[in-house]
Amino acid sequence: MKITNGTIYAAQSALDKLSNADLPIKTAYAVKKNVDAIKKQIAFINDRRNELIRKYGKEDKIDTEDKEAVAKFVNDFNEVLGIEEEIEINTIDVEQLEGVKLSASDLDALAFMLCLH
């Protein structure tokens, strides 16, 4: 499945919630496979983000008063987030998540791996 780095980056928190939920075995397996498949890409995104922070900031942060540095960081990081990757994703039937507490924003972030049967 082609998926953007932005989609992966936005899904981190929701994936953590889903990974820690009490799920049926097959669903937990699919979630684990998906997490494993995108871990490498999340590391890449975080590495690029940290490089850009060092490039446009001082040490480990960007001075928010430096509007030019902030704009350059945002522009470059958006470029990273826009990159599409081919990642093998297992789809999960939403019905298998019954009883799992996820917010609407969590569901939105996980939409790339959810389906209705």
pTM, 2 dp? 0.85
Residue 40 to residue 35: CA distance in whole angstroms: 9
- Cα 25 to Cα 18, 42, 54, 101, distances in angstroms: 13, 25, 42, 18
Q: What is the pLDDT of residues 99-115, one digit of tens each?
A: 899 999 999 999 999 99
Which residue from 65, 63, 115 is spatially nearest to 89, judged by alpha carbons?
115
Which residue from 26, 23, 31 is spatially nearest to 113, judged by alpha carbons?
31
Provide the total of helices (H) and of strands (E) in the chain, helices listed first: 4, 4
Q: What is the pLDDT of residues 16-73, one digit of tens each?
A: 999 999 999 999 999 999 999 999 999 999 999 999 999 999 878 888 888 999 999 9
- Cα 80 to Cα 10, 52, 64, 77, distances in angstroms: 13, 10, 20, 5
Q: What is the pLDDT of residues 1-15, one digit of tens each?
A: 999 999 999 999 999
